[in-house]
Amino acid sequence: MIDARPSSCFENIGHLEKQVQDAAADLVKTFKQICARIEGSKSNPVTLHDWCSWISFLKQLNVYLARFKDWKVPDEHKLTERIKHALLALYRAESHLSPEAQEYMSMKEEFRAQKAKLRAKMLQIAGAQGLESFDEALRQQGFTAVDAEPSEETASSSSQGAGSSSRPAELPSSTNASGLSSLPGRMTNEQLAHELLLDPAFKLDEQGAGYLDNPVLSKVRESFKVAFWDSLVDDLRLTPPCYVRVLKVVGEVRDGMIDLSPSRSKELKEKIDTAYWQEQIESGALDWSSCVSLIEGMLGIAMEMQEPSRKQETQAGWKALEEELRASTPEDQPTLFCKALEYVLGRVNVMRVDAANARLRNIAHVIQNHGIEYERAHMDKKIKANPAYLQRTPEWIRAVVEKEVGRGRADLSKLVQGEGAAYEQIHTAAVLSLIMGSEPVKTDACPETLQLDISRLHKYHADFHFDVLAACMLAVASQRLMATKKDPKVTELLEHLKTSLNSFEASLVEKEERVKAATSSFEAELSAAEKELIASCLSPSQPSAYSREMLERLLEVPAMVLEKSYGPMEEQWLRLVSADGSKVESDVPQSPFVRNVYERVVRNARRVRKVISLNRKVHYDRYNQMILAESQEFKLGMQQQTEKSQTTSTSNFVGASSSSKGPGDDMQVGACDTVLAVSDDSAGAVGFTVSEESKEKVTDDEKSTRSPGAADESSSKKARL
């Protein structure tokens, strides 16, 4: 393997690797010669003299084993250090995931699998003592090194040949330093189109992700990013230093610049020549001044390509960094070089994001006109590739139809008849059911038609639940303060609290930390006079100094109060996110409970309303079919249940007294049947169609595929969105 495919065995071909490769080639060559002699002497017995040819083979074998050991020992040390960094990144990342956070279950499972694999690999390379030493270091950093034992499959996959040991334990590249399938990566074209449909001014963030702010995922990404660069520093501290991954990052910088300016491809490959730097490394000519020159040269090219504002940012950052590099000592040079390399890569990535955002501005108007058809086409493609793709969406619609009809908020007869307003009501309630649940919807449980909005659903879930909490905090604080003091200053304090809670971004804080974070945010804004007022209100009989405990007591919400407060808030959200929600925003609720947080409720409802509206426009035809089918099935089930109940009741009645049937009994059965069995006449309009403003964007072919009610405008004007 080493002789035939060295690139599959070694991370790079350095001096030690070349010695192993040459020794392996000599050994294989001699072995082939011996095999040829044996094949040629089949008719004649092999004499003792012939076996003497094995002596040279055995000598070469000893040389190969010695060369292999010379390479293997430092290579195992290098791999052990990389595994440590990779494992530490996994433990750190996992520590940011709350045990109760159901939406990250797939990520937790992937973390566990990766840890088991890496621990098995470390056990193989460093032995039990090395693994125990690492676990002790973990404990000192506050992590518990308790994991399931690796399975046989994991262990076998880790116990590869020594020659391949350079490969499995590498950390991913610097630009995607997690390597996790469960961690969102770059946005797809479909996602970009969806974002532009919701917000024509949408732009990617400096990481190029563009996702809604998610503090948990940000911390997870940062854990892997830190581990990558720390591992790179350790590579440079080896004897001799390993520059393989350094050159890969230099290549990423160069390729990023080429992407920005393809016409300069040849020039950039000459100016940032990784082959030249590889030669410098192999010849031992690379010194510290050469490393600084490499950084300086790449930044100089980057600044040539940057806009004036970005160029100023780069120059300012480089000035401070250059001073550190020039004043460095041999001990801190590996750290400073990696810090500088990370800075260069970061500046190039910012340039790439700027270019991507400029392209988004150019296509935003096109997406506004054709984005809905684009999203439909993508969904059609998924269904064509997998006819059973839409599995969760019908189940979700069925559950909401049953729930809304059961609660009396939806009229089954109108659903079966295809009344548009009733369909809109079901769709709105269905989306809200994903937001108002006790836990955020999991990715693998989210309806397929809302997969592009999964991050938003998580954000809106946090917003809704904090709306309820904020309203309760204001209510209990008002009650506790007003009960002791009828003072205008108390009213001002409550207004301050109201402003603070209305501006609090709940989605940026984990669920368990929201009360604490909101309290801390308000406390940071309190004046000395306000703190004194809180203290005097909470302990009027025995005046004492303000403390954090007083503020926590003031804002503490009893569990029963919180539980009973969800109903009123649900009604307000439902009212405001409906299709006519914008028209009723000015109708401020009379109840102070909701009125106190109405500003944030309206703000949140507008965002949700926009998502619901777009989702309806894109998938209205499928929703029409699903709501109609589920409504008819639900109606049929109710009829069958009624008939069964009537049959059972009649049988029992006849069995008790066959001669006691009165003239009104048939009438009673008929009346019951009339109440539960709605009209079967559903030949009219079915469901909702796209609104007037987006109707022009639907092609003739699409019109022909609408459900009956969507196509038959003359049958019912109620069937419009």
Q: Do residues 158 and 117 make contact, with C-beta atoms less than 8 angstroms apart? A: yes
Is 50 exceeded by the pLDDT of residue 327? yes
Q: Is 258 exposed, middle or buried (0-12, 13-18, 19+ CB in 10 A)?
A: middle
Residue 698: the pLDDT is 38
Q: Is 327 exposed, middle or buried (0-12, 13-18, 19+ CB in 10 A)?
A: exposed
User: What pLDDT band is residue 713 in, cutting at 50, 70 and 90?
Assistant: very low
Is the model more confident about 12 or about 493?
493
> How many angstroms from the chain centroid is the CA of residue 421?
34
User: What pLDDT band is residue 52 in, cutting at 50, 70 and 90?
Assistant: low
User: What pLDDT band is residue 666 in, cutting at 50, 70 and 90?
Assistant: very low
Residue 168 preceded by cis peptide, ω within 30: no
Tokens read off for 73: 């020992």
Give the largest CA-CA distance in the chain. 121
Alpha carbons 235 and 389: distance in angstroms, whole number: 46
Residue 97: the pLDDT is 84
How wide is the angle at C-alpha 170 spanned by C-alphas 164 and 176, nearest 5°? 145
User: What pLDDT band is residue 710 in, cutting at 50, 70 and 90?
Assistant: very low
Which residue's entry shows tokens 């205008």? Answer: 488
pLDDT digits (tens, 9 = 90+) for 165-221: 444 444 445 544 444 555 656 788 999 999 999 999 998 887 766 544 677 888 888
Q: Do residues 303 and 314 make contact, with C-beta atoms less than 8 angstroms apart? A: yes
Segment 50-63 shows an average pLDDT of 81
Residue 556: the pLDDT is 96
Alpha carbons 502 and 352: distance in angstroms, whole number: 36
How wide is the angle at C-alpha 321 spanned by C-alphas 320 and 327, nearest 5°? 95
On average, the pLDDT of the chain sits at 83
Alpha carbons 332 and 330: distance in angstroms, whole number: 6
Q: Is 698 exposed, middle or buried (0-12, 13-18, 19+ CB in 10 A)?
A: buried
* Residue whose C-alpha is closest to residue 229's, from 302, 347, 322, 336: 336
Residue 548: the pLDDT is 94
Q: Do residues 432 and 605 make contact, with C-beta atoms less than 8 angstroms apart? A: no
Residue 649: the pLDDT is 64
Residue 161: the pLDDT is 40
Segment 601-625 shows an average pLDDT of 96
pLDDT digits (tens, 9 = 90+) for 531-567: 999 998 888 777 788 999 999 999 999 999 999 999 9
Tokens read off for 706: 């609408």
DSSP string, 286-334: --HHHHHHHHHHHHHHHHHHS-HHHHHHHHHHHHHHHHHHHT--TTTHH
pLDDT digits (tens, 9 = 90+) for 451-488: 999 989 999 999 999 999 999 999 999 999 988 777 88
Q: Is 394 exposed, middle or buried (0-12, 13-18, 19+ CB in 10 A)?
A: middle
- Residue 79, C-beta contacts closer than 8 angstroms, at least 6 positions apart: 121, 125, 165, 166, 169
pTM of the model: 0.75
User: What pLDDT band is residue 43 in, cutting at 50, 70 and 90?
Assistant: low
Please say whether the dihedral angle defined by the alpha carbons of residues 166, 172, 173 and 174, taken in this order, is positive or negative.
negative
How wide is the angle at C-alpha 84 spanned by C-alphas 79 and 90, nearest 5°? 125
DSSP string, 541-606: SS-----HHHHHHHH---HHHHHHTHHHHHHHHHHHHSTTHHHHTTS--SSHHHHTTHHHHHHHHH
Which stretch of DSSP H or E encloses residue 37?
A: helix 15-40
Q: Do residues 425 and 410 make contact, with C-beta atoms less than 8 angstroms apart? A: yes
Tell me, what DSSP letter sits at residue 104?
A: G
User: What pLDDT band is residue 650 in, cutting at 50, 70 and 90?
Assistant: low
Alpha carbons 615 and 371: distance in angstroms, whole number: 12
Segment 120-137 shows an average pLDDT of 90
> How many angstroms from the chain centroid is the CA of residue 434?
17
* Residue whose C-alpha is closest to residue 168's, from 184, 181, 154: 154
Is 70 exceeded by the pLDDT of residue 72? yes
Alpha carbons 110 and 96: distance in angstroms, whole number: 14
Alpha carbons 585 and 594: distance in angstroms, whole number: 13
Residue 695: the pLDDT is 42
Which residue's entry shows tokens 């002699």? Answer: 37
Residue 33: the pLDDT is 83
The amino acid present at 569, given as its one-letter code, is: M
